[in-house]
Amino acid sequence: LKQIPLFESMADVERQQLSTLLQRRQLRKGGILFRKGDKGSAFFIIIKGLVKISVSSKLGDEVTLALLRNGDFFGEMALLDEQPRSADAVALEDSLLYVLDRNDFFPFLFKNENAVRSILRALSLRLRRADDLFTEISFLTVPARLAKRLVELAEPLESQRSEPKEYKIRMSQRELASMLGVTRESINKELKILKDKGLVETSRNSILIRDIDRLKRRTR
């Protein structure tokens, strides 16, 4: 438990007590934890793995709201506002989670000032991101948003760590579309334009950025 940021500043006795309340849950890759609209029955902390928080339209288009990893937590919203789950939660890798039952959630918070602080900080950060995204959607075109996201996600190629010239993004076009909240077709079209101009190269599950400076100029 000490390894989990949410619990790290708890006293040993408190952690000991908490450990008796936490269940462990294993999820296979693709396993669904809950769906938007479900009743919120628990709070989750990721010990190991990758969980996607997303919402889907009736036609099956999907928007990824967040990718959560080791140490991250989720499922607090339905417990805090007593509304149904606000999004789907699905494991993208085999994952191991701690589960805290809804009845133990508030008693846990009341005893742990630092946990409250962490959860408030996470909620604030999410609202900030949501506001940024809303601003982006209001003010930027799809090409500019794509360029901005590509620059944000770009990682220097292993072989060029010290003086990177080219960058890689390990993500499929479908995942990228889902992150930007636009259709895959429009992402394909925009990537083709960038490709024809020599700014990027695309393959099945990754994108290579050949000219990041020119890409940066397209983010406005």
Residue 189 structure tokens: 């079209």
Least spacing, CB of residue 65 vs ligand CMP, in Å = 4
User: By CB under 6 A, is residue 78 in contact with ligand CMP?
Assistant: yes
Out of 14, 61, 62, 76, point to the residue binding ligand CMP (CB under 6 A): 76
Spatial neighbors of 178 by CB under 8 A, at least 6 apart, are: 54, 62, 63, 64
Rounded to whole angstroms, the Cα distance separating 188 from 23 reads: 43
Among residues 4, 22, 65, 209, which is the contact residue for ligand CMP, using CB under 6 A?
A: 65
Helix-helix angle 142-153:173-180, to 10 degrees: 120
Interacting stretch for ligand CMP, rule CB under 6 A, among 70-78, 109-117, 158-166, 182-190?
70-78
Q: Which is nearer to ligand CMP, 1 or 133 (CB)?
A: 133
The neighbour count for residue 148, using CB atoms within 10 Å, is: 18
**Cβ proximity to ligand CMP, 44 vs 167, nearer residue:** 44
Residues in 85-114 that interact with ligand CMP by CB under 6 A: 85-87, 89
**Nearer to ligand CMP among residue 89 and residue 209 (C-beta):** 89
Interacting residues of 133 by C-beta distance below 8 A, sequence separation 6+: 181
- Judge contact between 205 and 198, C-beta under 8 A: no
H or E segment and range at residue 98: strand 95-101
Q: What residues between 111 and 130 interact with ligand CMP by CB under 6 A?
A: 126, 130
Which region, judged by CB under 6 A, interacts with ligand CMP, from 10-18, 69-77, 181-189, 211-219?
69-77
Residue 159: CB atoms within 10 A of its CB come to 8
Q: Is 49 in the site for ligand CMP (CB under 6 A)?
A: no
**Residues of this chain that bind ligand CMP (CB under 6 A):** 40, 53, 65-66, 74-78, 85-87, 89, 126, 130
